Chains A and B, each alone.
Chain A
Amino acid sequence: MKTFTFHVSGTHCASCKILIEDVLNEQDFIQNARVDLKKEIVEIETISDLSSEKLADVLTDKIKSNGYILSVEKTVKEKQRDDVIWKALPIGLGLLVLFFLLQKSGILNIGIGGQTTPITSFVIGLIASVSSCLAIVGGLVLSLSAKISQDNVSDTKTFTLFHTGRVVSFAVLGGVLGAVGGAIGINFTLTAILGILASVVMLLLGLNLVGVLKKNKIALPSGIFNFFRSVEHKTFTPLILGFATFFLPCGFTQSMQVSALSSGSFISGSLIMFAFALGTLPMLLLLSFGSASFAHGKHAPLFFKTAGVVVIGLGLFALLAGLAGLGIINPLFNI
């Protein structure tokens, strides 16, 4: 019996350890397999007579479909990661350029006059979902979706809960605004602080997706990790997150909230916000379920890194804008 140590790449989650060990232990020539996630190594005890290179190839075949690669030399892994990031960087930046050009073009500033009806608020929702609000709400949805898909195979339930929570709470809160009328105003400073929090989360997740945090062994604070774990595994948290998006800073949301406020009744306020949330839904669904399908596909590593680049870009944009909105820094741009 011999003992081999291989470098493993593609391990991004705690459950990866269990998965790899399960698969490797199923092979009849392996006595014992042990994964060390911190060092990114796999130790196996085997009765096989193959050379270490051959063995790495054979075993990689078994776990390649899950995105893991075993190698004798650590450098091989580094090279692959670099290749992916070099592709992900231009793709991600290209998407960011398209997004900001779209904002700059003024196409989205279509005037919709007259009374706000559920139909106009649906149209405004459609516009809002590709506007600069996408930078913050969409960026958050994309980063969370990519992260959840990366860690969890059964992500559909989480996404469904999140979007249901979002649409339902928009309808309910819109109704409350309509019923209460002018008595409550949603504080700008509060929404701005929430926006900054969201952009910090986006930056952290983006760096994590690109692999910077993992590479330098800077782990996210454990509180944040626990938070994500609860996002993945509980029913309640995605619903709450969907609820919280009501308060994220987005000019369109805020102006719809005012329409709901002045609408005068629970039903009309609720209808306005519900229609608005429905309008934003197609784009957000595309982002989360799109992430899921990419994440389980062949190009998963490229997708995660590209998503990371996009999320970092949007997060920086939202953070700088949010700080300027709070008057902490001078506005750096006007887009």
Chain B
Amino acid sequence: MIVVAALLLAGAVVGSYPAYMMGMAMVNVVAAIGLNLLVGNSGQISLCHSSFMAIGAYSAALLAAYARVPFWVAIPCGTALAAGVGALLALPARRLGGIYLALATLGFLQIVQIALEEWSGVTGGVRGLKIPKPELWPGAVLTPFAVYGVVAAGCVLAVWTAHNLLHSRLGRELNALRLSPHAAQALGISLARIKLTAFALSAAYAGFAGGLFAQLVGFIDPNEFGISAAVRQLTFIVVGGMGSLAGSVLGAAVLSGLPELLRPVREYNDLVFAIALMAFMLFLPNGLVVLWRGALGRCLGRRAAVA
């Protein structure tokens, strides 16, 4: 609650455009948390995180547009749908590892992408989809600042749930899956079940992020959820720190601000991202969170041991 209040205050102070950018950063944080659970903690490769975000965004948007469902129903519906599709994808994916998993998820991304573009009667196709202003109930439209508040609350909710999750039995099982699948299996952890859970959970966070994104932006098109978005989300967690919640938050927050700093040299955006990605891979493979930890000393040492 305190954090939500602080974020609200910050949003109120900085004015509408910076608040919108902060909202955007928070959406990215939610997406990065989901991706990090799957990739960083359980060690599965995913190149289709943005597709689950698309599923969440489009289903929330379509529910609001056609059924006039209020946002607090539409977003959870989108989240649930994304989680369901994530679990479905996990059925074939849980038997694959390494590059084959990368390929399967890449294929899934392409399928979602083509479906969004070609099924234009419903999704609006490449021209995109305009989303009605979020309503608390039919007739009660939220102000932009209230939307920002919703996003802030959603982001804090995501961080809080992920924190609890990672310190639960499930969180330890996810890490065990990455560190040593064989040892995990020997300890009685069902790999199939835990992979399925990891995919569904990660997709749920992505779907949630997608729902928030749709409310915040008011307009979505398939381009927002393509392969470059998936790679950008991977950059968040690589730069922030794999398998660390603080890393997801840090990476997404820092890199969301980056395009703003680069505004004068806009066209170099992707190039900077790609080079940042390569540089971090080579020189700081554990991400920014390592520097953060160095500064905080032993404070976070316990979590470092887990990750």
Do A and B interact with each other, yes or no? no
Interface residues, chain A, with chain B CB atoms under 8 Å away? none
- Residues of B that sit less than 8 Å from A by CB: none
